[in-house]
Each structure stands twice: as C-alpha cells, then as structure tokens.
C-alpha cells in the first residue's frame, strides 16, 4: 500500500505545483516581480460586474449594408454585360433597396436576362418595362433567401471586425454578442476607462475608397449635380501653422479601389513631420494599385475614408510594391487609432450606438467584498460543522475544501477565464457539493463499521461504493454546465465555467486527495476510522 501511496502523493503534489504555476501570476505582487518572467501570462480576469467598465449596444445599419451590396452587384453586372456586348446605363440603388438600370437595346433583353439568372442568382427581376425609345427599364431586387443570408453574414462580419478592433485596443475578455432578430450587437468591456476613444474606434466604419479627382470640373457645378459621373467633396487639410482649411474638390463617382485589400496599416511621419498612416496591400491589391496608378499618371488620386477626403496626392509615376499612405490633419493618437481600424478591417455597414452604460469600479468592489464575505462565512460554518461532527476525518475534508478552492482558481487562471459575480456563486455552490461528497464517503464508512468490518476494510469499501455515486451525480451536473456554456451568454457562461472547474476539482480532492490522507492516517493509527 505504501508504494501505491507514494505515487498518489506524487500525483497530488504535481497537480498542486501546476496550480501554483498558473495561480501565482494573478497575484499582483508576483506579477510585478522578476518571477513573472518564467511564469505563464494567463491570469484570472474580472468581469464587468466586478471591476467596472463599459456596456454598449450597437445597431447595425442593415439598409445601408444592403444598399452597398446592391451597388457593388450593379457595377459587376454592368462590367460583365459590357464584356458581352450589352450596354446598360448606370445602375442605381433606389430608396426601396432595389437596383434600377436601363438596357439600351430591347433586342438584347433575352441575353441580359439569361446573364442575370445564371450569374446573379441572389437577384430577382421584379419589373421590366419597355420604353417608347426602344430601351428597357429593369428593376431588380434581392431574393428573400439571399437577403436573410446577407444580413446574417453582415452581422457576423461586423462582430468579427469589432472583436479585432477591441483586441488591438487591448481590452481583456470582452463580451461581444450579436442579436440577430434586431441587428444589434451587445458589447461589454471590463476595465475600460478610455470611453471616448473606445466609442470612436468601435463606431468608425473605416470604409476606405480611392477615387480619381476631376480637376477639369467646376466644384460649384458638381455641388449642384451638374457634372455627370462626378460628385462634390471637401478635402480637409492642415497648414504647417496648425490652421485647418477645407478645399472644394470634384471626384469621379466610380471607385477605382477599396480598402478591402489593406493587409497592414501602421503609423509614421511625412517629410513635414506630420503623422501619417502607412498601408501595405495584399498581392491582389498591390497589382490593382499598380494598374490604377500606371493608367492615371499626372492625375490626382483622392483617399476617401467614411466619406471624408483626407488627401488627394498627384500620381507622378506608376507605384509598384503595394504601398500607400494617408496624410491629413491627424494627431499622433488619431493616426494610431485609424491604423487600428484599418488593420481590423472595415465594418460592412455603419453602426450606431443605441445604448451606453458605464459600470463604476466602486460597484464592482462592493460586489467582490460581499461575495468574499459570503464565501468566508459559509465556508467557516461548514468547516466548524465538519470538524465537530466527523472529528479528524472532518479536518481532512476541510483541508480538501481549501485545496479545492486553490485548484478552481488555478484552473481559471490556466484557461484565462473571467470571474464574474455568478462565477463566485458557482464556486460557492461547488464547495457545498465537495462537502456533500465527503459526507457521503464518511457515512458509507460508518455503515461498513456498523456491519462489523475492520477500519481498513471499511475505508476501502466506503470509498469504492461512494465514488461511483459521486461520479454519477457530478457527471450530470457537468453535462448541464456544458449546455449552459454552449447556449448561455456573459455571466451565465462565467457560472458554467466555474461550476465545471469546481466539480472536477471537488471530485479530485474528495475521491483522490482525501483517500490519500485517510490511508496515511489509518496506516499510522489502524483504529482511527472508528472515530468517524
């Protein structure tokens, strides 16, 4: 038995050391010491309800997303039709989110409709009207199935982009949940203090476009809509003395390139020591940028972000290598934030802040204090009862209880889990279940002693018969916790994580560690079990 006891003690010590390795970085004194260099980085993070932070509800402008999608499909349809010798006039998106255009030759109607049915299955022809001049006006709409798919994809992409931005912002354990029914995104940012900056980063659409400048057009006529194929815009510029100015400018409506090809974005400084955003395109973007600049030497190329023209440099020569920069009236911090949103990618549609709440750290500290007080009072009451009712065996159960808490916290740190107020409730619940397991074992041992077995035989029989019952009972709870984690959100998930870790730790301590202690105790005093 002593040989078996040695390897079991060794395994328990190994688990204890492993728990210490992951738990120590959570302690501020250790985290700021040289010891942190050799310890893992993962720590226990506190949730929004414990350390304060921000709660945001964002609404995704799905109409705008659909409008962008229809506009892009309209351009693709026009280009593809042109390759087949079909001429359709500029497709436009209406307020009812339909796509309208005119086919110039009625005899090509069949060929165009075949093209639409074969290559644009997400679009349905809602109306085709023959005009007196021999042309045909078409109205296309998105099919219900395609609309549902695109809305779901847009929401998923928005969540992914926001998560990327938050990750680069440096917030640990953000909780981001989409609400598909009303196209909303719920965001909880524990510990966030830079409110204004966070809102600015999350709300920026970062829709980057490159458009050619029409220097030959009159800005005033463009503003009145009198320049076909062009649009009026304002170029924001900052003079060396810091004075900002707005320069009227005329841009071609067609976008020659978008920001979807941006692979990397960083900050730097131009030759006048002004902050700029440096971009590097992926291979496809690099080829496209090379082609655009090569075909438009001596023209100006405007860089438009979210409808604002930040710069419009002159193309002096073909630009190969896939690099470009955005200069403008940025501060260093603005340039850095812009680089963040460009790296994270553009939102597929504008988002609006529907609700904003701040949770103060004082409320979180109050929650922590009350939770810790409740846990300490409850734990102390249980320890006193176990010591009085079961004597030395009760003390063994109490030591296992503390080891249980230690393993739960170590496990949470190892997985980088977030501790929330429901999570504290989950820990307290599992402590009660751990005590129940010890009570079940001790009562089994008492039964075997009353049947006349020797202490050693009663110990063996009590543990073997109780273990199966404990595993069965805890297994069903683990299954329930897994389901809670899978389908729950936020605090519910925190509760499920601590409940699962607590059950696994309690089974290990109640069945394995307490058996070690009891075996060691009986080996020293063979009649010790009689005092249970």
Concatenate the DSSP letters of all residues of 162-215 into one string: HHHHHHHHT-SS-EEEEETTTTEEEEEEET---HHHHHHHHH----EEEEEB-T
* Residue after which a domain boundary falls, among 300, 326, 357: 357
Distance CA 378, CA 428 (A): 8
Distance CA 46, CA 56 (A): 18
- The least confident of 113-127, 221-235, 239-253, 512-526 is 239-253
Q: Establish if 103 belongs to a structural domain.
A: yes
* Residue after which a domain boundary falls, among 319, 341, 357: 357
- Quick one: 397 and 276 in the same domain? no
* Structure confidence at residue 364 (pLDDT): 59
311-324: average pLDDT: 80
* Structure confidence at residue 2 (pLDDT): 59
Distance CA 123, CA 126 (A): 9
For residue 430, count CB atoms less than 10 angstroms from its CB and return exposed for 0-12, middle for 13-18, buried for 19 or more. Answer: buried
- Quick one: 392 and 501 in the same domain? yes
Q: For residue 376, what are the contacts with CB-CB under 8 A and spacing of at least 6?
A: none
Compare 244 and 456 and report the one with higher pLDDT.
456
Domain span at residue 412?
A: 1-52+360-531
Q: Establish if 166 belongs to a structural domain.
A: no
- Quick one: 68 and 91 in the same domain? yes
CA 309 to chain centre: 30
- The CATH number for 506's domain is 1.20.1640.10
Q: Establish if 181 belongs to a structural domain.
A: no
State how many domains the chain has: 3
Residue 513 has pLDDT above 60, yes or no: yes
For residue 75, count CB atoms less than 10 angstroms from its CB and return exposed for 0-12, middle for 13-18, buried for 19 or more. Answer: middle
| Tally of CA atoms within 13 A in the half-sphere of 263 that contains its CB | 10
- Quick one: 130 and 271 in the same domain? no
* Structure confidence at residue 498 (pLDDT): 84
Of 58, 305, 98, 72, nearest to 202 (Cα)? 58
Of 233, 447, 449, 238, nearest to 334 (Cα)? 238
- Quick one: 209 and 348 in the same domain? yes
Strand 418-419, strand 45-46: pairing: parallel
Strand 99-103, strand 418-419: pairing: unpaired
- Quick one: 379 and 500 in the same domain? yes
* Residue after which a domain boundary falls, among 326, 357, 388: 357
pLDDT level of residue 96 (50, 70, 90 thresholds)? confident
Distance CA 446, CA 185 (A): 57
What is the enclosing helix (H) or strand (E) of 64? helix 62-83
- The CATH number for 280's domain is 3.30.1360.200
């Amino acid at each position: 038995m002593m040989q078996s006891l040695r390897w079991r003690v060794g395994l328990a010590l190994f688990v204890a050391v492993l728990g210490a390795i992951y738990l120590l970085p959570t302690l501020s004194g250790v985290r700021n010491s040289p010891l942190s260099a050799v310890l893992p980085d993962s720590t226990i993070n506190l949730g929004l309800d414990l350390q304060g932070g921000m709660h945001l509800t964002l609404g995704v402008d799905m109409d705008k997303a659909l409008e962008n999608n229809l506009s892009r499909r309209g351009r693709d349809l026009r280009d593809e039709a042109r390759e087949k010798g079909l001429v359709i006039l500029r497709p436009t998106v209406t307020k009812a989110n339909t796509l309208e255009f005119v086919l110039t030759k009625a005899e090509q109607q069949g060929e165009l409709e075949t093209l639409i049915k074969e290559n644009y299955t997400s679009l349905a022809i809602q109306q085709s009207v023959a005009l007196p001049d021999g042309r045909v006006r078409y109205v296309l709409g998105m099919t219900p199935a395609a609309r549902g798919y695109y809305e779901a994809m847009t929401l998923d992409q928005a969540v992914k982009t926001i998560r990327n931005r938050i990750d680069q912002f440096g917030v640990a354990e953000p909780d981001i949940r989409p609400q598909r029914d009303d196209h909303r995104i719920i965001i909880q940012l524990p510990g966030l203090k830079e409110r204004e900056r966070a809102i600015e980063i999350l709300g920026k659409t970062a829709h980057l476009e490159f458009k050619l400048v029409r220097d030959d057009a009159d800005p005033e006529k463009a503003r009145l809509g009198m320049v076909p194929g062009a649009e009026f815009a304002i170029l924001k510029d900052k003079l060396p003395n810091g004075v900002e100015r707005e320069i009227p400018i005329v841009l071609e409506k067609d976008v020659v390139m978008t920001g979807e090809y941006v692979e990397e974005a960083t900050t730097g400084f131009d030759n006048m020591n002004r902050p700029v955003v440096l971009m590097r395109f992926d291979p496809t973007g690099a080829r496209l940028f090379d082609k655009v600049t090569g075909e438009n030497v001596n023209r100006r190329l405007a860089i438009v972000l979210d409808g604002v023209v930040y710069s419009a440099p002159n193309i002096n020569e073909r630009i190969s290598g896939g690099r470009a920069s955005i200069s403008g009236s940025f501060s260093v911090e603005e340039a850095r934030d812009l680089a963040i949103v460009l790296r994270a990618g553009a939102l597929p549609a504008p988002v609006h802040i529907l609700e904003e709440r701040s949770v103060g750290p004082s409320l979180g500290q109050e929650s922590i204090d009350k939770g810790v007080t409740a846990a300490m009072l409850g734990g102390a009451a249980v320890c006193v009862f176990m010591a009085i009712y079961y004597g030395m065996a009760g003390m063994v159960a109490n030591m296992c209880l503390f080891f249980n808490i230690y393993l739960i916290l170590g496990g949470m740190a190892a997985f980088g889990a977030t501790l929330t107020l429901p999570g504290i409730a989950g820990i307290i619940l599992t402590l009660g279940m751990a005590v129940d397991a010890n009570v079940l074992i001790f009562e089994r041992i008492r039964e075997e002693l009353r049947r006349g077995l020797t202490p050693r035989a009663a110990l063996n029989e009590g543990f073997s018969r109780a273990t199966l019952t404990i595993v069965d009972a805890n297994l069903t709870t683990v299954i329930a916790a897994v389901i809670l984690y899978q389908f729950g959100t936020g605090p519910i998930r925190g509760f499920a994580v601590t409940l699962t870790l607590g059950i696994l730790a309690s089974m290990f301590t109640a069945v394995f560690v307490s058996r070690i202690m009891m075996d060691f105790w009986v080996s020293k005093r063979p009649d010790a079990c009689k005092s249970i």
